[in-house]
Amino acid sequence: MMIVYGAGSEELGVKIAEQLQVKARGVESKIFPDGESYIRFTENLEDQDLILIHYCYPQQDKKLMELFLMLDTAKDLGAKRTVAVIPYLPYARQDKRFRPGEVVSNKSVGRLLGAVGTDILITIDVHSEDSLKSFSLQTVNLSAMPLLAEYLKTLKLTRPYVLAPDRGAVIHAQLVSSILKTDYAHFEKHRDRVTGDVVTDYKDVGIGDRDVIILDDIISTGSTIANVAKVVRSKTARKIIAVCTHGLIIGEAEKTMRESGVTDIISTDAIPSKFSRVSVSTIISEALRKIL
**Which stretches of the chain bind ligand R5P, using CB under 6 A?**
93, 166, 168, 198, 216-224
Residue 202 CB, nearest approach to ligand R5P (Å): 16
Query: Cβ closer to ligand R5P: 49 or 95?
Result: 95
In SS3 terms, 25-83 reads as ECCEEEECCCCCEEEECCCCCCCCEEEEECCCCCCHHHHHHHHHHHHHHHHHCCCCEEE
Query: Cβ closer to ligand R5P: 49 or 166?
Result: 166
Query: Cβ closer to ligand R5P: 110 or 222?
Result: 222
Residue 6 CB, nearest approach to ligand R5P (Å): 25
Rg (CA), the chain: 20
Query: Cβ closer to ligand R5P: 154 or 195?
Result: 195
Catalytic residue among 96, 181, 189, 255: 189
Whether a cis peptide bond, with omega within 30° of 0, leads into 100 is: no
Query: Cβ closer to ligand R5P: 70 or 242?
Result: 242
Residue 270 CB, nearest approach to ligand R5P (Å): 14
The answer to whether residue 290 is catalytic is: no
Helix boundaries (H) for 77-222: 105-115, 145-154, 170-180
Burial of residue 171, with CB atoms counted within 10 A of its CB: 0-12 exposed, 13-18 middle, 19 or more buried: middle
Residue 242 CB, nearest approach to ligand R5P (Å): 9
Residue 156 CB, nearest approach to ligand R5P (Å): 27
Amino acid at position 272, single letter? P
* Dist. CA 128–CA 135, nearest whole Å: 13
The CA–CA distances, whole Å, from 156 to 153, 159, 210, 229, 267 equal: 6, 9, 12, 20, 18
Residue 227 CB, nearest approach to ligand R5P (Å): 8
Handedness of CA 271, 152, 189, 110 (dihedral sign): positive
The CA–CA distances, whole Å, from 150 to 103, 237, 243, 275 equal: 38, 24, 12, 16
Helix boundaries (H) for 21-59: none
Helix (H, G, I), strand (E, B) or coil at 266: strand
Query: Cβ closer to ligand R5P: 122 or 248?
Result: 248
Catalytic residues: 189
